[in-house]
Chains A and B, each alone.
Chain A
């Protein structure tokens, strides 16, 4: 009898050890999703009403557009930088790593405030442009989609750069030399060698950026302003200003679905793509 108990305990032990954290996640993260839907009276029709609505659709499209722009800008900057840094001296490498990591340690709120100082009417950029006599009147940059995109780019760039850099560091120089000596041009080398070897890291960065832009609140609300609302800002407005908690629940579900599906699509898309090759 004692032996059976002991064996049962040994088999159960790992589950018992994992149980506290699993219960924590289930009770405070998964249950609330269902509670939120149950709490909303007539959830389905509220959901349909909230989503099939011109305002909602335009906010949704803006959120996607901002995410795509930020992803594109990050790609254009991170790929060449990671390529060069990946094959530079150790000193330069650690310099760049530190510089890219430093912003991650600073509160996003502080960084958005920094952007307000730079992009504001009498900010750094406008006084520089005026000093160089490029513009006569201050240019409106703050509270546009561009301001929001710059802030988000700065917020998420490290998450694209770091995985790309480690992929570039693992890429051997000989492969590139072989391709070059066989007459491949830069574009061909990029498409046939660099891209496949760094694709996994790139997709990790891409999903962080796309999901992050869909869910970010502080940066877009401080830099984009009321007219350029994104999904999270709309959620905030439903809860705090319009007190429409049903619409808030619908918006929350949409944000969640967007983030989850971006992640699923990218991870499985790459897995299938790699298998097909």
Chain B
């Protein structure tokens, strides 16, 4: 019983973790091509990141897209999840729910193409805006799930108590419900931010010039060369995302979100 367990865990963990560890190792290597074992020690590749303009610009573009998209997604999901939680017997509830599961099922690359045609061509929307629309659609399911979960943890009694004591619905929601789901709010926003920051395929056909997100800049770089600059950047990004996910873990816990 022990030995098969060790074998399966070793195999699985090495499949899961080596691809994350390898960029870290190679990012300090002196050699310009990928060689094993990595030779020497240099910080040159980390410096090189800043010589390549698209990366700095991409970081700013990605951060602002992720910030705006998470904000909009949370603003849209808050009333929607409230309705789904508080009005369990609503007519058309099935239809509404299946409309909300669509963005989760829709392949990002297909959505990207459809938004290129629709938002960019038909509506004359500028690129940055169609990027944000796409990212909102991608992250909205995550926001909804976290907020719905924290609303159901809270339950409806406390709100009803406030209403029966004379508050109107809106005030009760603002004063009683909102402070109590603060955690889900923060966790949901952080999750949305991270998902948007890491999303690649949705931006494929929607990024031009200055509004090119970081992952697209990296993809373009990878199509030309494999030198350790991309490894150094990956290392920084791993540090960035681990720090962010640590923040999420501290506020809500990741494990509860995926189920």
Contacts and interface: CB of A to CB of B under 8 A. Distances in A.
A220 B12 CA distance: 20
A96 interface: yes
Interface string A198-234: 0000000000000100111110001000000000100
B26 interface: yes
Given A84-B9, A122-B36, A25 B137 contact: yes
Would you call the interface of chain B mostly helix, strand, loop, or mixed? helix
A236 to B, nearest CB: 7
Contacts of B109: 215, 217, 232, 235-236, 255
25 contacts: A21-B76, A24-B136, A24-B137, A28-B119, A28-B137, A29-B102, A29-B106, A32-B118, A35-B122, A77-B11, A100-B16, A101-B254, A103-B16, A103-B19, A106-B198, A109-B219, A113-B231, A115-B19, A117-B22, A118-B18, A122-B34, A122-B36, A154-B15, A232-B107, A256-B110
Interface in B204-248: 204-205, 215, 218-219, 222, 226, 230-231, 234, 237-238, 241-242, 244-245
B147 to A, nearest CB: 11
A86 B36 CA distance: 37
A120 B34 contact: yes
Most chain-A Cβ atoms within 10 A of its Cβ — which of B15, B231, B237, B241? B15
Contacts of A28: 115, 118-119, 133, 137
B127 interface: no
A150 B14 CA distance: 12
A108 B115 contact: no
Given A32-B119, A102-B20, 8 more contacts: A29-B106, A32-B117, A35-B117, A105-B245, A113-B231, A114-B234, A215-B109, A235-B113
Contact of A117 (B26, B113, B114, B194): B26
A177 to B, nearest CB: 14
B100 A218 contact: no
Contacts of B79: 17-18, 20-21
B23 to A, nearest CB: 5
B165 interface: no
Given A17-B83, A218-B219, A150 B114 contact: no
Contact of A84 (B5, B34, B121): B5
Interface string A29-46: 111110110010000000
Nearest to B119: A28
Contacts of B117: 32, 35-36, 39, 245
Given A20-B76, A103-B16, A116-B226, A217 B200 contact: yes
B16 A99 contact: yes
A110 interface: yes
A75 B4 CA distance: 15
B80 A114 contact: no
Nearest to B246: A105
Interface of B: 4-5, 8-9, 11-13, 15-23, 26, 33-37, 76-77, 79-80, 82-84, 86-87, 90, 92, 96, 99-100, 102-103, 105-111, 113-119, 121-122, 133, 136-137, 140, 194, 198, 200-201, 204-205, 215, 218-219, 222, 226, 230-231, 234, 237-238, 241-242, 244-245, 254-255, 258-259
B128 to A, nearest CB: 15
Contacts of A65: none
A173 to B, nearest CB: 14
A107 B19 contact: no
Contacts of A33: 114
A162 interface: yes
Contacts of B76: 20-21, 24
B103 to A, nearest CB: 6
A25 B23 CA distance: 38
A96 B13 CA distance: 9
Contact of B241 (A24, A36, A106, A120): A106
Contact of B16 (A128, A154, A222): A154
A195 interface: no
Instruction: Output the residue of A20, A114, A256, A259 with the most chain B CB within 10 A.
Output: A114
A248 B122 CA distance: 17
Contact of A236 (B13, B80, B96, B204): B204
Given A77-B8, A153-B15, A162-B259, A122 B35 contact: yes
B243 to A, nearest CB: 10
A39 B123 CA distance: 13
A69 interface: no
Which of A20, A218, A259, A260 has the largest count of B CB atoms less than 10 A from its CB? A218
A103 B20 CA distance: 7
Contact of B9 (A81, A127, A260): A81
B34 A117 contact: yes
Given A105-B241, A107-B237, A218-B201, A29 B111 contact: yes
